[in-house]
A and B are shown apart, each in its own frame.
Chain A
Amino acid sequence: MKADVQAIKAVQSRRTVFIISAIVLLAVFVLGTLVYNRDKLDKGTKVAEQNLAFLVREHSPRLGPAEAKVHLVEFIDPACGTCREFYPLVKDLMKANRDKVRLSLRYAPFHAGSDNVVRILEAARKQDKFWQTLEAVLASQPYWAPNHKAELQFVWPQLGNLGLDLERIKRDMYAPEIDRIIAQDLDDAKALGVTMTPEFFVNGRPLPDFGYEQLRKLVNDAVAKAY
């Protein structure tokens, strides 16, 4: 009888040790995640503060009135699926805060071949068709970026209805100033710690963590503070 009682207690204590260990391991994981994310946000904010000059460049495409007090900077990769999903949301956000928010786009063509799509956008900009082209490119992204790789030959058919001079685009897209813009944006992305797209900065502040609601909140807070 004594042995039986001991056996039961031994099994119980094993179970207790196991459960407590599992809880401790998970608690360390959760705590580590919280600490890491807080540190990252602090660091990200600091880096962005120190590198405000890297955030805005003369060459960037912009939207909204220049005197708007809230400045939203988006690092965008035309081949990135999340950028595609965020585009209409960013447009809504701009519309909801008309005259208070301006947008600057920076390029972060991280996907293979995506830099060529940026070249098309910049060449279209010379024909004053940047935003239409960007919208067409993003809308048709699944056709020309299968397997996360931008295929230039599939991009051209998507630009037919925009009234673009495609021959001129093909001539313009490899201009050295476009080289410089892409190189500069990639350098700035690196300096600002941008490793994924889309990345947003609202008046120099990065998102606390990624998500549309977080972006909306950051923009609304900035608007409330400035107006």
Chain B
Amino acid sequence: MNDPVTHASGLIRCPACYFMLPGPWVEGGETLRECDRCRQFLRISVFPALRSAPPLPTRSGERAMEGDATCFFHPEKRAERPCDRCGRFLCALCDLPVGARHLCPSCLKAGPEEIVALPELVTRRLSWGRLSLILSLMVFIPFFNLFFWLSAPAAVFAALYGWSKPGSLVHGRRPVSAIFGLLLGLLQVGGVAFFFYNLWLESTHRAIH
């Protein structure tokens, strides 16, 4: 932490007893201190967010003066910034921060396609490639291998169905897992098919002789 050292006020919550500890704190450095209530030793490093006030809950936007750029949705309001997605000018009311990005209401409009397009809004993802791999490997796990006649086709289905689905936010689509799961699943399905084909061949052979 080589930033210049400044002092910040604000409250820090003790993680052991949830007592609110008052400052001052060294910003850009570390404060070693005991909790006033539980005497737990703490190493506290504060960041600029502690001293900056939280954003106001409601903002209506300033009225535009002559020559000012105006909001796309409210022509009487002064534009504060452009939408990071569509580029429309937005007043303070229409400026919807999503992380570091600022979006307009129409870009943020809920819908599955929009959520896929906006990774900031994704809270959960199913990794189809990983699912395919897990299902294909179930044949090696005792007890679960009794159900491989279900898990193997499911592994093939998951690999094929999820191929074009959006993958993990951090790992991507995991194509290697999907390919491995697909091949292992096909091998198991093929093995079962081969076994029954041989049975059928034997039975017809016996019937002929």
Specify whether A and B are partners: no
